[in-house]
Amino acid sequence: MSSSQEEQILSSPYQTFSREEWKALNGHLNLNLSEDDISRLNAVNEPLNTEEIEEIYFPLAHLVDIHLQHYEEVRNTSNAFFQRNQQKLPFIIGIAGSVAVGKSTTARVLQKVLSFLPSKPKVELVTTDGFLYPNRILSDRGILNRKGFPESYDTKKLLNFLSAVKSGITQHIVPVYSHLEYDILPDDIQLIESPDILIVEGINVLQVNSQKGQNNKVFVSDFFDISIYVDAREEDIIKWYIDRFESLRVTAFQDPNSYFHKYANLSLEESKEMAFQIWTEINKPNLHNNILPTKYRADLILQKGSNHFVENLKVRMI
């Protein structure tokens, strides 16, 4: 949705909370994360500190806990009504947003904090990168340069996985994607077993676009119990993307096994130019055509400032 479209909206289904208002909402979570814990949760060029976790993610986990309790109450009431003992099904959280906006960090931190809830739930995290088609298929279809666009994902496989989770199947094998090799690892898998909470993170999780030639009636977001969109101003996301590209150029791209090793010897200026070109040709159209229009399908929107920390939050009214 464009800014002009947003301006035309006279009312909003969201409540908006400033950071100060939001941090006051935490009711009972109190945990101590070590510097090592925070370091492991961090990502390239994405600052993370105890203050951000306590002020943003503690109240967020508290809100999710309220939804979890309601989810359990509805299941118990339904079992009594139907006179059946339906097993407990995983509570699924979807996290969406642009490339380089910090979705993965949000997902990792939320996974960690939710695991400290009083009920000590088992929290698993799956990224939709594992459901990208292998490079050989993308190349055969002439869309390798559109990796991340809706048509680059095996949506049927992703939907089958989520359907299995919500049908009570307790063990699932998920493909694994390597950012180093820029491809699916055919000999590697992620095993998901009986989670209480499943977090599904990816740029495409709120999209409703059907794959070309298909008429999908079911969408990924249909399986979510709560969804989150990580948002930021585009000029900030571009800067973060360029900064991350340069950080990777002097680290991960130096590995001869890296798909992006060809960029390892670029100068700083060349690196910035290449990153901006990739953003302009690939990530920008994907953001505007496929990702950003899904923002208002989310139940909660985290709005980040230029420092990568959350400034305000929008929560869909009930």
- Is 252 annotated in a binding site? The answer is no
Cross-strand partners of 242? none
2 is in an annotated binding site: no
152 marked ligand binding residue: no
SS3 12: coil
Q: Residue 193 pairs with which residues in a beta bridge?
A: 171
Is 98 labeled as ligand-binding?
yes
- Is 102 annotated as ligand-binding? yes
Least Cα distance to 245 among 237, 256, 235 occurs for 237
Indicate the angle between helix axes 58-82 and 103-114, nearest 10 degrees.
70
Other CB atoms within a 10 A radius of the CB of residue 27 amount to 12
What whole-number distance in Å separates Cα of residue 316 and Cα of residue 299?
A: 5
Burial class (CB in 10 A: 0-12, 13-18, 19+), 144: middle
Place of tokens 């009972």: 28
The packing angle between helices 234-249 and 268-278, to 10°, is: 130
Q: Is 74 part of any known ligand binding site?
A: no
Please state the residue numbers annotated as binding site for ATP: 97-104
Please state the residue numbers annotated as binding site: 97-104
